[in-house]
Structure 1
Amino acid sequence: MRGINPRIAVVIVYTAAMCMNGLDSTIVNPALLTIARDFGEPVSAANTVEVAFLVALAVALPVAGRLGDRFGTKRVFLAALAVFTAASAACGLAGGLPELVLARVVQGVAGGLLTPVGMTLLFRTFPPHERVKLSRVLIVPTALMPALGPPLGGFLTGHLSWHWLFFVNVPIGAAAVLLGAVGIHEQAEGAEGPFDLVGFLLATPALGLLTYALGFGPSHGWTSPAIAVSGALGLALLAAAVGHLLRATTPLLELKLLGDRVFASAAVLALVTSAGLMGVLFAFPLLCQAVLGASALDAGLSVFPEALGLMLASQAVDRLLPRLGPRLLAVPALVLATAVFAALAVPGVAENAWAVRALMFCVGLVLGTAVLTVQIAGFADVPPPAMGQAMGLFTIVRTLGGALGIAAVAAVIAAGGGSGPHGDAAPGPYRTAILTTAGLVALGTLFALRLPKEAPAPPPFEEEPEDASVTA
């Protein structure tokens, strides 16, 4: 097909794949009770459906950049997308919980490859000065889809069945693979040296164990044998992995990229903002349910205006970043986000539906502006050959940040005794947890001061673009 513009094809396929991946991180939550009942399992066992996905996703992240460099970003991305689509069908067809968990593991591994390799493909296609325009694309899968997940999951489960939570991926994934196969150019920078097997054997189980411990620690207890051993072993392996990766000639993850001031600041900002956002999206619906007696669907809908704010943020970044620069745009946005997060913890706010909607919209607007600014500015000076490594490292940090945020919030709630029945729990622990997320966002302001003042500029002499009619 000669009529397909490869740049447009990259954007469409990336957006479709990341929307599927983003939705699957949250869409199953409202259906866990229904899934447990259908399979005759306790609700606690159904949580393995989500934990299996997150652990598998974390395990796949370290090798994503290396695989993309060695075999080509197009080939790895489309292969991961095809596996993700097939695993989605297997999830929908599962006849028991073990089958569903196994299919979710496969889905998580593929999803762990999709995010960093897809971003690498996108950022190699568009030079730094053009990436500001991508904010409209980046905001949809990274922030809008996770926000849409809970209400969409509740709707599909209530009106069709939980199987459709996974079946919706199949036609989208199949169409995206076909379009990508004929419309995207291959981009292979080449991977020098042998595969870092030692780094793989250290980093991969370290991330998996830490994600497992963070996911189950708040509910099972941090001192329970499985959690304590997983956390301690994960930290030990992580320390050993960092030491090895800093010494290795061709490391699995190029930690030396953190020596770049802007990229390092962006990575830390990704960690704390992801922790704050995921933490507040976890704590506030619990406040609505445990204290106010709201239903799961109503609680999910209470945070939905955040998605609308995120959509507006994509428009704001597109227009403001070239004029103000990363630092002047991100710092005020994070200050405002801190104030909005703290306002959600004020007594009486959660009981006022319109106040909640307005504040959640502001969460999406101001924090979304900061997140998109950081994501664009952090990679401005990363050369194309290092983009795969940088994107893999950035995605790992952001993923662990989200897990840390949820774990911190859950720990604060548990420590405050916030475990009463619906409509009977004390609001104090939940409000303290929300204030904790405000503190995490405030911490990010210090690192935002290290971002550059000027937005990425076009090169002094731009080359003519390639003929868009040439296909891969």
Structure 2
Amino acid sequence: MPKLSQKIVVPVVYVAAVFMSILDSTVVNVTLPVIARRFDVQPEQGHAVVIGYLLSLAVFMPASGWLADRYGVKRVFLAALALFVAASALCGLAMSLPELVVFRVVQGAGGGMLVPVGMTMVLRIFAPAERPRATRLMNIATIIAPASGPVLGGLLTVQLSWRYVFFVNVPIGALAFLFGLLFLTGGADTVATRFDVPGFLLSGTGFAAAVYALSEGPDRGWDQPDVIATGVLGVGLLAVLVLVELRAAGPLLNLRLLGNRPFRTGISVQVLSSGAFLGVLYLMPQFLQTARGFDPLTSGLTTFPEALGAMASIQVIARIYPRIGPRRLQLIGLTGLAVDVGAMGLIDLSTPRWQIIVLMLLAGVSMGFVFMPTQTASFATMPTEHLGQSSALYNVGRQLGSAGGVAGLSTVVAALGSDGEGPGLIAYRAGFFTAATLALLAAAIALTTRDADAASTMKPRERVGDRG
């Protein structure tokens, strides 16, 4: 069997696996009404299909770093991929809603480990100076997946069946698994400490409770007993988690890594920018369908250009990052995002569709200035032995930022009431202005980014004395 360069193998399996994992967070939303009708349940009961997946992600993502260190990134990644693919097939074969929810939980367990462990593989195989170009490839999955979810879900549901929303993962995942099994190398595994059971119980329960409250609060109301209980429980357990993990000799989530300045700044920027961007990706389809009367497929096609804008800009950013550094790129992107999303708050019921498409395209272009520089700079000074746990922590922050952004914008829209048939134009405008504010807050934090901290990921500037 010929050996392939790991700098080819790792990005291939990472992009394939992570695309499926992130896609599954959004693709099912379009199919929920169909699933509810198929199993003869109320639409709100069908929402358990999404909640089960998100809760499982929240439980297993924090443990991914320890598992990768203990058993090796190749074994954990392939095991997570196999679990995800098998659960996807079972989801497509489910004969009742409870069965589907259980299989979605299993699917989330695999998905919760795929992203951080895959990121660890990429960070370990590429030297800091090579990561800008590698991150350009990595971000393809994280950009296209959430935007293509509504489009792909609508097409598969209308043309085939809701079951193919899950079946589509099987051939892609099987090929990625076989490719990884044949060509991924084990690599050098670090020595892990004893499994942190208190940290796992606190993080799993705390994050799951917080995600449940953030997911259910905007739709059902923050005054619901279960939402209040899980919200308070989540905050309380996460507060205890911080105290326990800071004192633990071998913590599951090494919060001491936040003492690394570029990593701390990067996570902060990422949480706020993810909240703004993913919040807009959630809010715009809602506006188009409820206020403008677009069908799900037309809505998805209207918002999808953001992925094209991000992909295009990342190709440029990856080439100029080594000479410019992260700080100015982040500021340009976040300021541009704030202006663009603020402009979304000015659209009305008669705004031409092409103008909305342009705004979504520009939002993607702006985020292209943020994705790659932030991720690359965050790990610039992180020691190799801490890449597993720092990847887990980074992705936990991204997940909470996304959930918090969607919940926050949804709450703003719901709080401003409706026009009798759904949220009114003023409510949606307030939601977009809130997202713009989150982008500005991220820009304020990006001001503290230091290009010198990311020097290892940049080309050294030519000194005058070195010129011929």
Q: Normalising by structure 1, report the TM-score.
A: 0.94
Shift of 1:177: 1.0
1:449 aligns with 2:441: no
Shift of 1:348: 3.3
**Would the aligned equivalents of 2:246 and 2:256 in 1 still touch at CA under 8 Å?**
yes
Q: 1:43 aligns to what?
A: 43
When structure 1 is superposed on structure 2, of 183-192 and 205-214 the one drifting more is: 183-192
Shift of 1:460: 11
Q: Per the alignment, do residues 393 and 419 of structure 1 end up closer, same or farther by CA in structure 2, a change over 3 Å counting?
A: farther
Q: 2:464 aligns to what?
A: none
Shift of 1:419: 6.9
Distance (Å, rounded) in 2 between the aligned partners of 1:421 and 1:397: 35
**Would the aligned equivalents of 1:326 and 1:453 in 2 still touch at CA under 8 Å?**
yes
Aligned residue identity for 2:431? A
Shift of 1:418: 3.1
Aligned residue identity for 1:153? G
Q: Per the alignment, do residues 138 and 6 of structure 1 end up closer, same or farther by CA in structure 2, a change over 3 Å counting?
A: closer
**Would the aligned equivalents of 2:332 and 2:369 in 1 still touch at CA under 8 Å?**
no
Q: Per the alignment, do residues 234 and 346 of structure 1 end up closer, same or farther by CA in structure 2, a change over 3 Å counting?
A: same
1:158 aligns with 2:158: yes
Distance (Å, rounded) in 2 between the aligned partners of 1:110 and 1:353: 38
Q: 1:256 aligns to what?
A: 256
Shift of 1:203: 1.2
Shift of 1:350: 6.8
Aligned residues: 459
1:169 aligns with 2:166: no
1:131 aligns with 2:160: no
When structure 1 is superposed on structure 2, of 200-209 and 186-195 the one drifting more is: 186-195
Distance (Å, rounded) in 1 between the aligned partners of 2:102 and 2:141: 25
Q: How does 1:180-199 map to 2 (within 5 A)?
A: 180-199=180-199
Q: 1:400 aligns to what?
A: 400
Aligned residue identity for 1:119? M
Distance (Å, rounded) in 1 between the aligned partners of 2:232 and 2:140: 36
Shift of 1:23: 1.4
Distance (Å, rounded) in 2 between the aligned partners of 1:453 and 1:459: 9
Structure 1 counterpart SS, 2:403:
helix
**Would the aligned equivalents of 2:380 and 2:456 in 1 still touch at CA under 8 Å?**
no
Q: 1:319 aligns to what?
A: 319
Q: How does 1:318-467 map to 2 (within 5 A)?
A: 318-348=318-348, 351-418=351-418, 420-421=420-421, 425-454=423-452, 455-457=454-456
Q: Per the alignment, do residues 121 and 420 of structure 1 end up closer, same or farther by CA in structure 2, a change over 3 Å counting?
A: farther
Distance (Å, rounded) in 2 between the aligned partners of 1:144 and 1:310: 9
Shift of 1:349: 7.8
Q: Per the alignment, do residues 188 and 68 of structure 1 end up closer, same or farther by CA in structure 2, a change over 3 Å counting?
A: farther
CA deviations over 1:400-446 (Å, ceiling 9, x no partner): 00000011011101110037426xx5200011011100000100011
Aligned residue identity for 1:435? F
Distance (Å, rounded) in 1 between the aligned partners of 2:289 and 2:403: 21
Distance (Å, rounded) in 2 between the aligned partners of 1:316 and 1:447: 24
Structure 2 counterpart SS, 1:418:
coil
**Would the aligned equivalents of 1:262 and 1:450 in 2 still touch at CA under 8 Å?**
no
1:228 aligns with 2:228: yes
Q: 1:464 aligns to what?
A: none
Q: 2:2 aligns to what?
A: 2
Distance (Å, rounded) in 1 between the aligned partners of 2:459 and 2:264: 27
CA deviations over 1:300-359 (Å, ceiling 9, x no partner): 222111011011122022112012111111111111111001000114387221111111
1:107 aligns with 2:103: no
After superposition, the CA RMSD in angstroms is 1.6
Q: 2:53 aligns to what?
A: 53
Q: 1:292 aligns to what?
A: 292
Q: Per the alignment, do residues 459 and 359 of structure 1 end up closer, same or farther by CA in structure 2, a change over 3 Å counting?
A: closer
Aligned residue identity for 1:251? P
Aligned residue identity for 1:445? A
CA deviations over 1:158-180 (Å, ceiling 9, x no partner): 00111111111111111111111
Shift of 1:189: 3.2
CA deviations over 1:228-272 (Å, ceiling 9, x no partner): 111111111100000001111111111011111111000001100
**Would the aligned equivalents of 1:68 and 1:188 in 2 still touch at CA under 8 Å?**
no
Structure 1 counterpart SS, 2:241:
helix
**Would the aligned equivalents of 1:69 and 1:188 in 2 still touch at CA under 8 Å?**
no
**Would the aligned equivalents of 2:325 and 2:458 in 1 still touch at CA under 8 Å?**
no
Aligned residue identity for 1:289? Q
Q: Per the alignment, do residues 460 and 42 of structure 1 end up closer, same or farther by CA in structure 2, a change over 3 Å counting?
A: closer
CA deviations over 1:365-422 (Å, ceiling 9, x no partner): 1112212210111111111100001000000011000000011011101110037426
**Would the aligned equivalents of 1:196 and 1:252 in 2 still touch at CA under 8 Å?**
yes
Distance (Å, rounded) in 2 between the aligned partners of 1:360 and 1:336: 12
Q: Per the alignment, do residues 292 and 105 of structure 1 end up closer, same or farther by CA in structure 2, a change over 3 Å counting?
A: same
Q: Per the alignment, do residues 277 and 420 of structure 1 end up closer, same or farther by CA in structure 2, a change over 3 Å counting?
A: farther
- Structure 1: 5+ residue stretches without partners: 462-472
Q: 2:273 aligns to what?
A: 273
Shift of 1:188: 4.2
